[in-house]
Chains A and B, each alone.
Chain A
Amino acid sequence: MSKIHVTTRINGDEAEFLCDAEETLLDVLRDHLNLTGAKEGCASGDCGACSVTLNGRLVCSCLVLGAEADGAEIATIEGMASGEKLHVLQQKFLDHAALQCGICTPGILIAAKSLLEKNPDPSETEVRYWLAGNLCRCTGYDKIINAVIDAAAEMRKV
């Protein structure tokens, strides 16, 4: 079976891979590029654990084909911190104990970052609705919401 050759940028770095037509971006990230930060919780767009951005847009990578990444700009959890320095959201998630098992965390961080890029001062309700596509079974969301609101406040200061 002939494979598709794809050239893309991931977290600012050029990446090339070969994939089957049926493989999703999530499969490609995890199986070919060893970027396992995005998780597969459902493979049907219902849990958000696989969230990444594609040309700046928040997407479920399980619903995007690997081939669609050609020429695109992709950002994953692995690119969120800059070197040793955590992103404010990452730090606030730790400060607020906004994770228990942590399997939902990469997806929620990516989704929250994309919210704050659009809306630097969201209300609690706005945060809750924006994150409604990201399931967390451990926390009851409380500490996650607090962390996002606190991070937003911190980011507005700079």
Chain B
Amino acid sequence: MALDEYQKRDFKIIGTRQPRPDGIDKVTGRALYGADITAPGMLYAAMLRAPHAHANIKSIDTSRAEAMSEVKAVVTAADFVQGLGDDTQDVIDACIARDKVLYDGHGVVAIAATSRAAARRALKLIQVEYEVLPHAVEIDDALAAGAPVIQAGRRGNKVPKGYNDNCTNWCEFGHGDLDAGFAKADKIISRSFRTAATHQGYIEPHACLASMGPDGQGDLWCCTQGQYFVRTLCAEIIGMEESRLRVTSSEIGGGFGGKTTVFIEPIALMLSKKAGRPVKMTMSRDEVFKATGPTVSSVTDVRIGMTRDGRITAGEAFLRYQGGAFPCLTIFPGAQSAFAVYDLSAVRTRAVNVMTNRPRQAAYRAPGAPMAIYAVESVVDELCQEFGLDPLEVRLLNAASKGTKSSYGPTFDDIGLLATLKAAKAHPHYTAPLGPNQGRGLSCGFWFNFGGNTSVSLNVNFDGTIGVTEGNPDIGGSRVSISMMAAEELGVPYDKVRTIVADTNSLGHNDVTDGSRVTFAVGLATIKAARAAIGEMCRRAARVWDIDEDAVIWEDGHAKPAGPNAGSHQPMSLAEIARQSPNTGGPISGHHEVNAEGAGVSFGVHLCDLEVDPETGFTTILRYTVFQDAGRAIHPDFVEGQMQGGAAQGIGWALNEEYIYGKDGRLQNAGFLDYRIPVASDLPKIDTVILEIPNPGHPYGVRGVGETSIVPPLAAISNAVSRTIGVRMQELPMSPPKILAAIKSAGN
């Protein structure tokens, strides 16, 4: 992908706030989500889940359940072929236990019955005999010598000596001479930080409707971040060809990365195949917490050296992540991004992933980055305190910028970090007075952003309106943004365009909605599809005018003659060309297929004011401002929405949210009452400042915005709390008891 895609221009529609096409359906309750459809003769599925963290399955007896007339199919791991590729095998093994239960809530038997109630009754009749094994749910326990081995044979070949068989992945990044760097420092601080596992917390539990026919064809409706990968995974797991399985994505009630894999879809398909009837499968909230992927939990050691005047001379981090009972690659982006906001001549990160008896982690917004950057930004803040330096000035002094060799290797092109920091410095929030027991924290954040495989098709209807077909589920306003880009490029009013999301058999492949890719990559493909249609429309006009097609240009929604040999013809509007298209060669459309590269990294800075109650340790967020580079904000409302939503999730992560396990290795807070995500009264207004430093790799300059916003809140809040109470906090979440303990320890 060339970096010369971006062209400066004046926009008519980009940057305005247009109504979203799915809006009315969503405010009237008409929009159809994963659990909202039915099929004739449909059965209801339910899953029996293991009540142990780690256990061998000695026997399963389903005979009494099968004797119930309402029960139409029973599925266990034995129904699935084995020996799939490692990754796919892990996906299905995480859904339903093969021989061994690996975490509390691991699926064991699935049933399809004629009613929900009957399915629940049937589960109670199933007998499973377990041999309970010793378990490990915490990182330190799983790393310890003599720890129970979660899955044998999964030790990574890059893992150094001295680490046990639970260590599946290892990585190391960096450059420069660390010793020399640290030698230049006036002060070196080393600390160790912990973050708890948190859940994406989408309000819509996983749900699907699967229908397999005796002819081997299948249809699947589900809430997912990507219908195409669902098709690929399920086809491989069920053993069918991709064209035989059509997957339609429903409206999706939040994902944040958590719906980039499958948990119930292959099970529902298998039940449907065995029963010969459609099967609806939905998860309860309890199941969502226990058996879908939370993020990793982490322990991170950080060591940073700084000169008296605030120059960072060297940085080093060692990350230990657990991502559940399977190998997990989240350490890679973690180790790569830990120091990405800084321009460093000596930096090194190392990371190890360790298996535990927890559910298989799933991606969560900027996976791996928030916990690593939290640790680094905490130590930088402490060094600033140590030298009495302004933390924003120190960031400005050390910030990565164009030409910086990043901590993960490549040299940065145009990036927006300095501009973002300057915007924060100039903002009234930064100098607003603080009261007693109040403090201010700040942190930078970073995420890579990705492009990926994308197909878009754009049809010019005979009446001059436009239909755009894209293949990425719309999580937070992508249909409106894509319609806007199509309208802008074609030069037609926004309301002439309607964008829909296609099923897998109606459009070429599209990668999953992840990595903040949709506005970037689908936008790019839409613009190019529009350009292809424009090319055809110019050709049609040229034929009507009987002139050379090179002599026709496209301007403001019209074909116009241009150049010396064009003659003088009245410009033809898109609508006119569309109306005449049956006479000039048939329907007009444009399409574009690309593997979009060059997504452009994104940076953010968050400022947070808060108050800590010294009696209770309770933290109230008083003021919060997000500064982020969006490259180009296509629809500012939804860019702001991404920034605010990510910040709110980060606030929850910093203060409340955590997976709590008992001594028995079972999850103790699998519900929204005890796993408390922020509610409206927990949060202040979240202000946003959007910066627009165009991405050279996109025609309109777009960068992804979806993920970076969850990165800075962890350290911004921890730094504010630490400054308020005068003790450096080193563990998330900072629940009131932990803060109170820290205050007490400082008093002694």
Contact B671 A40, beta carbon cutoff 8 Å? no
Contact B645 A139, beta carbon cutoff 8 Å? yes
Tell me whether B172 is interfacial, beta carbon within 8 Å.
no
Tell me whether B22 is interfacial, beta carbon within 8 Å.
yes
The verdict on A140 contacting B644 (CB below 8 Å), with A39-B253, A132-B680 known, is: yes
In chain B between 677 and 712, which residues have their CB closer than 8 angstroms to a CB of chain A? 677-683, 685-686
Report the nearest A residue to B36, measured CB to CB: A36
| Partner pick for A44 among B23, B33, B671, CB 8 A cutoff | B671
Contact A97 B686, beta carbon cutoff 8 Å? no
Max chain A Cβ within 10 angstroms of own Cβ: one of B116, B256, B284, B641: B641
Residues of A within 8 A of B685 (CB): 142, 145
> A74: shortest Cβ distance to chain B, in Å?
14
| Partner pick for A46 among B23, B26, B671, CB 8 A cutoff | B671
> B249: shortest Cβ distance to chain A, in Å?
12
Max chain B Cβ within 10 angstroms of own Cβ: one of A22, A77, A101, A136: A101
Tell me whether B638 is interfacial, beta carbon within 8 Å.
yes
Tell me whether A105 is interfacial, beta carbon within 8 Å.
yes
Max chain B Cβ within 10 angstroms of own Cβ: one of A78, A99, A109: A99
Tell me whether A71 is interfacial, beta carbon within 8 Å.
no
Among listed B92-100, B149-157, B197-205, B518-526, interface-contacting one: B197-205
Contact B284 A136, beta carbon cutoff 8 Å? no
Report the nearest A residue to B204, measured CB to CB: A103
Contact A101 B476, beta carbon cutoff 8 Å? yes
Tell me whether A156 is interfacial, beta carbon within 8 Å.
no
The verdict on A99 contacting B27 (CB below 8 Å), with A20-B117, A129-B681 known, is: yes
Residues of A within 8 A of B200 (CB): 137
| Partner pick for A140 among B22, B32, B254, B648, CB 8 A cutoff | B648
Alpha-carbon gap, A139 to B673, bound state (A) = 20
Tell me whether A69 is interfacial, beta carbon within 8 Å.
no
Contact A134 B641, beta carbon cutoff 8 Å? no
Alpha-carbon gap, A40 to B223, bound state (A) = 14
Alpha-carbon gap, A23 to B329, bound state (A) = 43
In chain A between 25 and 64, which residues have their CB closer than 8 angstroms to a CB of chain B? 27, 30-31, 34-44, 46-47, 49
Tell me whether B29 is interfacial, beta carbon within 8 Å.
yes
Alpha-carbon gap, A139 to B31, bound state (A) = 18
Tell me whether A138 is interfacial, beta carbon within 8 Å.
yes
In chain A between 105 and 140, which residues have their CB closer than 8 angstroms to a CB of chain B? 105-106, 109, 125, 127-129, 131-140
Max chain B Cβ within 10 angstroms of own Cβ: one of A41, A133, A140: A140
Contact A77 B29, beta carbon cutoff 8 Å? yes
The verdict on A97 contacting B253 (CB below 8 Å), with A132-B679, A139-B645, A143-B644 known, is: no
Tell me whether B477 is interfacial, beta carbon within 8 Å.
yes
The verdict on A101 contacting B680 (CB below 8 Å), with A20-B117, A106-B29, A138-B254 known, is: no
Tell me whether B647 is interfacial, beta carbon within 8 Å.
yes
Max chain B Cβ within 10 angstroms of own Cβ: one of A39, A94, A103: A103
Residues of B within 8 A of A31 (CB): 116
**Scoring A residues 83 to 111 as 1 if CB is less than 8 Å from chain B, else 0, what string do you get?**
00010001001101101111111100100
Residues of B within 8 A of A47 (CB): 203, 285, 672
Contact B26 A99, beta carbon cutoff 8 Å? yes
**Scoring B residues 282 to 323 as 1 if CB is less than 8 Å from chain A, else 0, what string do you get?**
101100000000000000000000000000000000000000
Tell me whether B629 is interfacial, beta carbon within 8 Å.
no
In chain B between 655 and 686, which residues have their CB closer than 8 angstroms to a CB of chain A? 671-673, 677-683, 685-686
> B667: shortest Cβ distance to chain A, in Å?
15
Tell me whether A17 is interfacial, beta carbon within 8 Å.
no
Report the nearest A residue to B476, measured CB to CB: A100
Report the nearest A residue to B207, measured CB to CB: A40
> B285: shortest Cβ distance to chain A, in Å?
4
> A122: shortest Cβ distance to chain B, in Å?
12
> B4: shortest Cβ distance to chain A, in Å?
33
Residues of A within 8 A of B648 (CB): 137, 139-141
Contact B284 A94, beta carbon cutoff 8 Å? no
Tell me whether B475 is interfacial, beta carbon within 8 Å.
yes
Contact B477 A100, beta carbon cutoff 8 Å? yes
Residues of A within 8 A of B284 (CB): 43
Max chain A Cβ within 10 angstroms of own Cβ: one of B28, B252, B647: B28
| Partner pick for B27 among A22, A35, A86, CB 8 A cutoff | A86
> B167: shortest Cβ distance to chain A, in Å?
33
Tell me whether A81 is interfacial, beta carbon within 8 Å.
yes
Residues of B within 8 A of A144 (CB): 680
13 contacts between A and B (CB under 8 A): A39-B204, A44-B285, A93-B27, A101-B203, A101-B204, A101-B252, A101-B255, A131-B679, A132-B680, A137-B645, A138-B254, A141-B680, A143-B644
| Chain A residues with a Cβ under 8 A of chain B | 20, 22-23, 27, 30-31, 34-44, 46-47, 49, 76-78, 80-81, 86, 90, 93-94, 96-97, 99-106, 109, 125, 127-129, 131-145
Q: In the complex, given contacts A37-B29, A46-B672, what are 17 additional A-B residue pairs having Cβ atoms less than 8 angstroms apart?
A: A22-B117, A39-B253, A41-B204, A42-B671, A42-B672, A86-B27, A103-B254, A131-B680, A137-B200, A137-B202, A137-B649, A138-B475, A138-B645, A140-B683, A143-B640, A143-B641, A145-B685
| Chain B residues with a Cβ under 8 A of chain A | 17, 19-20, 22-24, 26-33, 35-36, 38, 116-117, 200-205, 251-256, 282, 284-285, 475-477, 637-638, 640-641, 644-645, 647-649, 671-673, 677-683, 685-686
Q: Which 8 A-B pairs have the closest CB atoms?
A: A37-B29, A103-B253, A102-B26, A140-B648, A140-B644, A97-B637, A77-B29, A46-B672
